[in-house]
Amino acid sequence: MQTQFLLSQNDVPTQWYNVQADLPEPLPPTLHPVTLQPVGPSDLEPIFPMDLILQEVSQERYIDIPQEVREILQLWRPTPLYRAVRLEQALGTPAKIFYKYEGTSPTGSHKPNTSVAQAFYNKIAGVKRLTTETGAGQWGSALAMACNFFGLECKIYMVKVSYQQKPYRRSVMRLFGADVVPSPSDETESGRAILAKDPNSTGSLGIAISEAVEVALKNADTKYSLGSVLNHVLMHQTVIGEEAIKQMDLAGAYPDVVIGCVGGGSNFGGLALPFLRQNLREGAKTRFVAVEPMACPSMTRGVYAFDYGDTAKMAPVVKMDTLGHDFVPPAIHAGGLRYHGVAPLLALLHRLGYIEPRAYHQVPVFDAAALFTRTEGIIPAPESAHAVRAAIDEALDAKEKGEERVILFNLSGHGFLDLGAYDAYLEGRLENYAYPEEMIQRALQSLPQVNL
């Protein structure tokens, strides 16, 4: 039985897909964090280069991938698409399970698909240094690599709990030449303000973003780079779905359901949006399942509202499914899924009924990852394991109903640098944790009051 569906380097897409061209209704505007009024492109220029700002608001369906970017993507793309035959057999399901594997990139996840593009546009804009935040360290690693390729300096604020839990991610970033500091740090006003209130703060993505944005705002030669959430980031990730469409074609199948885990939404969007185009334009009927942790349930339990992108209210305000910018998530092991919000594009598609969100506890997620490792041989990143859980549940549901079902999920990264989390799982030290309702209600009280 054929289990690998291979493409050649020439099949790396030459264009990104911009779903904004096909949305049933336009995205709400991005607002200035102080005035709470819609921003124009020039308002965003202190933090992003103009090419990326224009991509953020573009309504063009396709945007050319610069040759310099495509050549770097070709170092590891196209990524493989597999059929998980041994997993299907273990489940005894009539469903066919396919997965797109993004863990073959140099840093082990989908994140370099956008870091390379972002570093390129900053380089040609004359920027000298990029700042960013990183949670689990995947984004920091990807941006450090891209900055290294294009000769940019890279400064990374790493959420303190991850800095302590994941020392090897730090090593990866430093090997690529990046400067990594634990956040909250005493290097920025935002970091010092948090430390003054809580010297033991373990940090959050929201706080680390504030630090990184602050440094970009205060230095003319420095800009800020975000690894998820924004429209242009999801667009850069559509190379995943475009390749997968060709590979499913080679497999002679088309997905009934497409699944991805969701932190900010970029790996899910990258796989799902090109298939969603087929729904919107070609009458396909694929379902889209977005999976998040019970501990950070922005799509399943948050509200659809305008909110700040960061804790110190310096990043732009966007309308998204949010738990509130003050949300400090518990230290679950899927570090990359701990952002308080979700991409505005996905929040809108959720509200319009195109996306089904689903939340899982971490123990069943690791159970799924262990079964996947033992059948397919690949250790999933804890984030990706959420998608594995949902794919298995879809396959079991198909079995119960006696249905054939074609399932496609994104295995967004490997877990070789997450073995501490697997140790905790194997030793029975993992706890299920659902974010308490009263904490969500409290965080939602600080949403900005927007009158448009």
Ligand X SMILES: *Cc1c(COP(=O)(O)O)cnc(C)c1O
Q: Which residues bind ligand X (CB under 6 A)?
A: 109, 111, 138-139, 228, 261-268, 336-337, 381, 383-384, 412-413
- Report the residue number, 109 or 115, with the smaller CB distance to ligand X: 109
CB of 126 to ligand X, least distance (A): 28
Q: Rounded to the nearest 5°, which phi and psi values hold at 95?
A: -70, 155
Beta-strand pair 303-308/81-83: unpaired
- Angle (nearest 5°) at CA 48 between 46 and 52: 145
CB of 437 to ligand X, least distance (A): 24
Q: Rounded to the nearest 5°, which phi and psi values hold at 130?
A: -115, 140
- Report the residue number, 261 or 406, with the smaller CB distance to ligand X: 261
CB of 108 to ligand X, least distance (A): 7
CB of 452 to ligand X, least distance (A): 27
- Report the residue number, 225 or 266, with the smaller CB distance to ligand X: 266
- Report the residue number, 267 or 311, with the smaller CB distance to ligand X: 267
**DSSP letters along 323-385, please?**
S-TT------S-GGG--SS--HHHHHHHHTTS-EEEEE-HHHHHHHHHHHHHHH---B-HHHH
Q: How is residue 247 written in tokens?
A: 């590979």
- Angle (nearest 5°) at CA 354 between 348 and 358: 90
CB of 269 to ligand X, least distance (A): 8
The owner of tokens 């991850």 is: 162
**DSSP letters along 235-275, please?**
HHTTHHHHHHHHHHHHTT---SEEEEE-SSSHHHHHHHHHH
Q: How is residue 275 written in tokens?
A: 């298939």
CB of 149 to ligand X, least distance (A): 19
Compute the distance between CA of residue 332 and CA of residue 8 in angstroms, rounded to an integer.
38
380 and 414 Cβ atoms separated by less than 8 Å: yes
CB of 382 to ligand X, least distance (A): 8
- Report the residue number, 294 or 398, with the smaller CB distance to ligand X: 294
Question: Which residue sits closest to ligand X, CB atoms considered?
Answer: 413
264 and 303 Cβ atoms separated by less than 8 Å: no
- Report the residue number, 95 or 274, with the smaller CB distance to ligand X: 274
- Report the residue number, 98 or 268, with the smaller CB distance to ligand X: 268
CB of 8 to ligand X, least distance (A): 25
- Report the residue number, 184 or 265, with the smaller CB distance to ligand X: 265
Which residue blocks in 107-177 are alpha helix, DSSP H? Answer: 112-124, 138-150, 160-165, 167-175
